[in-house]
Structures are given as structure tokens and as C-alpha cells.
Copies of this chain bind each other. A is one copy, B any other.
């Protein structure tokens, strides 16, 4: 089966591309791209694992999260150009809760079925919690203040831009802190030991090349799949909010999903957490504020005011994910709890 992987990867990718660009129609396009995403996501998982073998769990997780979100950033920029701010916000919301609840939950659950307790760096867990809290605060404060009678409506954009600037400063500081000044404090202890199991099949450079390639393929296939979804949902009568926050986010994060779950199954929970939580943090502290500045360049400024139910969903996801990961360990039951909260949110969004 291992020998067939690369041929099948290329075949399904090519068929899915043909279906998209030659307009086979929504149903074959959906089936082919859904098939392709299984293989490209698997490819990305292998590449991430190989890179994290060379670069350490955290840097590997960071690279995976960054490449995963690059796709999301590009798609959102196109949406902002067309003024579709509500869909952008719904999909940012969906990404944050999808990563914190679905990706982290599935990783902890699947990994926890195999290993009794999975550990990761407790300092990192604490810092992640504080950063997620900053993300929630920076979305919550503008929403509360703007809803006050006394707030002048014409200042909404100024407040959003200031908050966006603060978030980018916070994110830049985080990179300096976690990659340079306090790198050692946040690393997983297992990395210093020789890795268990077989060494990766690829060299260091080939692994990095494959990581970039796999991410690009995931980005393309995700977009093709997302493109077909709109047609499907029109038929099934699902709301834009639900499609943006759940379907788009789940498929758009397929890369993170598969990589994190595969790592958790190899007991590399530190890297899985870095992908899931790190990706949420990037969305809240980097992608969202960058989109505000991009919208300024387009001359159609987008504010950072999320709706009450989006804020409630984000706050709830951060609260439970923080409570569960704070002690630096996960078990199957903690994964199940995260998945249950995801289902509750999914049903609530479905009815709206």
C-alpha cells in the first residue's frame, strides 16, 4: 500500500483539478475533490512529521500551522475584496473553534485511546492559555464598547484598527519569545531523547520541500472543495453562517486535522497541540488583524466587531480548551469533552 501512495496522490489531485477547471458539474467535482483531500492531507501529515523529526516538535507544528493558515488567509483576502465581511468573520470563528475543539479534541481522543496520558510542555500550555485569552479579549472589548450607546459609530474602524495593531505587536512578540528568548522553556522534553520508531524516509531538505508542496496541494484542493459546497448547501438550505463556520472550516483545516491526529497517535502530543492551538492563535492574533489592514488597502474597511453568537462560541471554545490543556496532559475523555462542545456549538449554529 505504501508504494501506491504517491501514484494515487497524483492521480486524485489531477482528476480533481480537471473536474474543477473543466467544470464537470458540482456532484463529480465534490466527489473527486473529497477523494483527493484524503490523499493530500495524508501527504501533508507525513511531511509535517518528517520536518518535525529534524526541526523539533514545536517548529514543525508552527510550520504546519503557518502553511495551513496561509491558504485561509488567501481565501479570506478574496472574500474581503468582494466585501463579504460576514462570511470572513464566520470562517475565522469556525477556524478558531474548529482547531480548539475538533482538531485538539480528535487528537486527544484518538491519541488517548492508545496512550493512557499524553504529556506536553506545561509552560507552553500556560502561555497558550494567556494568548488565547488575549485573542478573546481583543474581540470582546470592541464588541462591548461599540454596543454602548455612548460610543460614536464612526470610530468603530479606528478602534478595530488599533486593536488589530496591538494584536500584531503581540504576535510578533510571541515569535521572538517562543523562538528566541525563551525557546528552551517551551520545548518538549522528549525531543532531547532519540526519537522512538524508524527515522523518516526523506532527507531534511526534501522534507521541507514536501511540506511546502503538500500545503499548496491542500490549499488548492480545499478551495476546489469549498467551491462546490456552496452549490450543495443552496440545495440543502443550510445557512451561510453554518457553512462558513463549520463546513468551510472543517475542510479548510483538513491539513491540520490529519497532521495533528497522526502525531497524537505517535504520542507526539506537543506537536499536535502546537498545530491545533498554534493555528487558532495565528488566526486570532495574526490572520484576523492582517485582514483588517488588507481591507483598509482595498478602501472598504472591515471592522473587528463579531456577532454575539460568534463571540460566545469563541469564548466557550477557549474556556474549555484552556481548562483541559492547562495541566500539560490530555486523555481520551478530555478529547471527548472537546468534541461534545463542538457538537453542541454545531447544532446551535445549524438552527440559527
Contact = CB atoms under 8 A, between A and B. Distances in A.
A155 B333 contact: no
Interface residues of A, number: 63
A312 B144 contact: yes
Given A158-B351, A162-B347, A181-B333, 16 more contacts: A116-B181, A123-B327, A126-B327, A127-B334, A130-B324, A134-B320, A134-B340, A140-B316, A141-B312, A141-B348, A144-B308, A145-B309, A148-B352, A177-B332, A181-B332, A182-B331
Contacts of A334: 127, 130
A336 to B, nearest CB: 5
A25 to B, nearest CB: 32
A26 interface: no
Interface stretch (A27-35, A163-171, A260-268): A163-171
Contact of A316 (B141, B332, B352): B141
Contacts of A345: 141
Contact of A133 (B131, B319, B332, B343): B319
A86 to B, nearest CB: 12
Contacts of A134: 320, 337, 340-341
A174 interface: yes
Contacts of A114: none
Given A162-B344, A182-B331, A336 B170 contact: yes
A348 B142 contact: yes
Interface string A175-214: 0110001100100000000000000000000000000000
A148 to B, nearest CB: 6
Interface string A127-147: 101110110011011101100
